[in-house]
Structure 1
Amino acid sequence: MLDNLQFLRAVAASLVVMQHSFSRGESYGFPAMGLRSLDGFGLGGVDIFFVISGFIMTYSQSRAPKTPREFILGRFVRIVPLYWSWMALIVSLIVLVPGVFRTLQIDLEHILYSTLFLSQPLLSEPPFIDLGWTLEYEMLFYMVFALTLLLGNGRVQLLVLGTAMLGFALVFGQWIVLEFLLGVTAFLLLAQMQARGLGVGLMLAGIAGFAVMHGLFADMHRLWTWGVPAFLVVLGVSAMRGRHARVLSYLGDASYSIYLVQVASIPLFYKVASVLPAPQSGAAAWGDVVSVGDLLILGSIAFSIVAGVLLHEVVEKPVTLVARRSLLQPQTALPRE
């Protein structure tokens, strides 16, 4: 089951990279042609991440219960060291090479609130690294989850967790946080029902849901257009027979780095592409089916995956190891999410 979700994490990270490559390619004059029908589908990668997070947190707590302190320290070690390290690297790059990014500028207040995962609630704007908006929702969910653990493990804890997240959504209008509850629900359903034979069907229903909702109901809130299909995909994939593939499992482990690195890898890729000798940006590579923009999207995805793997090996693993040794008990294992 966890191997399957690792595969799905790798897919979700690639979907987000694909989506940002569409928009970056357009801004550099490399529009997609053959892949244009996929423009927009990459948005669902974030929702898949949120549903997986709700699923794994509940699964991990059911298998190896943790105290609130142990839980939040584990989440800190998993999320914060890489995020802060990557932010520091980006800030250093901007200081050393001014203008290297078209939109990122040094703003100490913005950076401070971003490091505290409070940019959106206090500044009403995305974090310094805009991809970090998802991490601010993740940290909110982790804090609420940790607090509800004071009630122990069981139905009361889950009931209070659901009530708290629903209350937050109602008061602040942030319905996207309910996607974490969809992940919790997926785990509870999998634990209670004989879903093993339904896995493929549920996954295909989720994929079809992405297509239908994106095509016909794009104006609805993403909780419905992306969250519900993501719920079906996660439930289906987790219900399928586990299959271990070393490469995909590894990419799942590196998916956090792949997700973060794209803030630099995609602009770098297109900056280089824009100065290299090439056909006219809008020209077709093969007939009227595949454009240069299509090839560059695929190249951007591949480049970002390689860059993410490097970030995973060179930064994420070492800083996470240091944080784990400093904050966690030696025997404490981090869940694979």
Structure 2
Amino acid sequence: MRAFAALLVVIHHAQHEAATLAGRIGAAFVPGAWLPWPAGVDVFFVISGFIIVHAAGPLYGRPGARARFAAHRIARLVPLYWLVTGLYLALGLAAPALLSGEGGPPDGARVLASFLFWPMARPDGAVLPLYGLGWTLNYEMAFYALFALGLGLSRRGAAAWLVAALALLVLVGRLVPSPPVPLVFWSDPIILEFALGAGLALARAEGARLGTLPRLALAGAGLLALAAAPAEPALRLLAWGLPAALLVAAAVLGRDRPEPVRGRLAAGLLAGAERLGDASYALYLLHPFVLRATREALLRTGLAPSLGPWPSLILMVLLTLPAALLVHRFVERPLTRLVRARLDPPTRPLKGAAAPEG
């Protein structure tokens, strides 16, 4: 599911690059609208809500749980994001045209806010960090902070606290007159997608399991609902968030010991999808660099006219995959281990505790 969510976002941005390529070579290009590609973010949010509540099992009600959870989350998200943001800033300073769409070069306050996951409006009015894809991480970090506050409770209590806190945040954002930018950002109903994932984690912990046919029905309903959803929904939570929850439910409410996949081809595809899922964070953060570099390489080598927009798009997407796998293995994982070793509280490890792979 993480691989699926990341690929939706990659295809969304690849179509933009393909449209730019088509315009520069004078070719026709009609983007595919089979699915609302940005909804990959909504799938990610539901997955994140599930994984955090599910994997934090050994931490509930334990001394030092909040510090350990915070250390693991920081080690998981911050190093690669800071590295990518720093790279983007360096490229922008070297080639200011790269940041021309933001209404001007970034000032120190915006750079600092971007690194600290603090929502801040750009000169053009958009509430986006320096590296635009980081807007999702501003939501993730707020979700982690709220969840950490409930770690002193049981799983049920922590999940109830999380859902109530997220709902209250949305309500406050609607009731406060002229709310500040951070409150406007964090009170968007999209944050309730974390609650949907948390609810699925609690349901699984309470023993909820579905057979193969009901899960296939959930997956089919989720895909059909996404395909039928508008490209720019009035309420994203309902149009994209609920179908995303159906897809995640189909994935997580199966048996504890699923039967092994039969056939080399099927097993190989599943193993590849799992590896890509592990690298989904690297894929999400790095794919714009690969897409843009591939597009420019095709244009400058003269290959773009002979390939055309759609083959170029497929090539751009395919090249993001090995790039993400390599960065995950040789950059992201070593950085995560290093930072976690530095930040982990110096206490006896909690039995069975692990950093959730969100």
TM-score (norm 2): 0.80
Displacement, 1:334?
1.5
- The counterpart of 2:287, out of the listed 257, 262, 286, is 262
Q: CA deviation at 1:236?
A: 0.4
User: What is the aligned counterpart of 1:323 among 324, 335, 339?
Assistant: 339
Aligned match for 2:73, one of 46, 67, 75:
75
Find the counterpart in structure 2 of residue 162 from structure 1: 163
Alignment match of 1:42 (pick from 37, 40, 46) = 37
Alignment partners' CA distance in 1, 2:293 and 2:341: 34
Contact 1:199 1:238 in 2 (8 A): no
1:308/1:106 Cα in 2 relative to 1: closer, same or farther (>3 Å)? farther
| Aligned equivalent of 2:149 | 147
Match of 1:59 among 50, 54, 71: 54
Instruction: Look up the equivalent residue of 2:139 and give its one-letter code.
Output: Y
* 1:305-329 Cα deviation digits (max 9, x unpaired): 2222232233212211210111126
The corresponding residue for 1:275 is 300
TM-score calculated relative to the size of structure 1: 0.85
How far residue 336 of structure 1 moved from its aligned partner, in angstroms, is 2.5
Secondary structure at 1:230's aligned position in 2?
Answer: helix
Where has structure 1 moved over 3 Å in runs of 4 or more? 30-33, 63-66, 93-107, 120-124, 240-245, 278-281, 329-332
Q: Distance in 1 between matches of 2:330 and 2:15?
A: 28
Aligned pair in 2 of structure 1 residues 258, 277: CA closer, same or farther (>3 Å)? same
**Corresponding residue number in structure 2 for 1:15:** 8
Q: CA deviation at 1:92?
A: 2.8
Tell me, yes or no, if the aligned pair for 1:15 and 1:43 is still in contact at 8 Å: yes
Q: For 1:276 and 1:221, how far apart are their aligned partners in 2?
A: 44
Q: Counterpart of 1:77 in 2: which secondary structure?
A: helix
Structure-2 change in CA distance of 1:132 and 1:42 (3 Å): same
Gaps of 5+ in 2: 174-186, 262-266
The alignment-based identity, stated in percent, is 31
Q: How many residues align?
A: 316
What are the superposed Cα offsets for residues 261-280 of structure 1, whole Å, 9 maximum, x if unpaired? 02311211212222232464
Aligned to 1:230: 244
Equivalents in 1 of 2:69, 2:242: separation in Å? 27
1:138 CA drift (Å): 0.4
Shift of 1:19: 0.3
What's the CA shift string for 1:185-217, capped at 9, x where partnerless?
Answer: 1222334433133211111111111012237xx
CA contact (8 A) 2:55 2:354 kept: no
For 2:167 and 2:28, locate their aligned partners in 1 and report how far apart those are by CA, in whole Å.
Answer: 40
Q: Aligned match of 1:189 in 180, 195, 203?
A: 203
Greater alpha carbon shift after TM alignment, 298-307 vs 325-334: 325-334
In structure 2, give the amino acid aligned to 1:51. V
Conserved? CA contact 1:68–1:149, under 8 Å:
yes
Whether contact under 8 Å (1:187, 1:235) holds in the other structure is no
The residue number in structure 2 matching 1:3 is none
1:9 positional shift = 0.4
- The one-character-per-residue Cα deviations of 1:113-136 (angstroms, maximum 9, x if unpaired) are 000000347986201110000000
| CA–CA separation in structure 1 for the residues paired with 2:221 and 2:325 | 31
Q: How does 1:124-139 map to 2 (within 5 A)?
A: 125-139=127-141
Taking a change above 3 Å as real, the CA distance of residues 229 and 328 of structure 1, as seen in their structure-2 partners, is: same
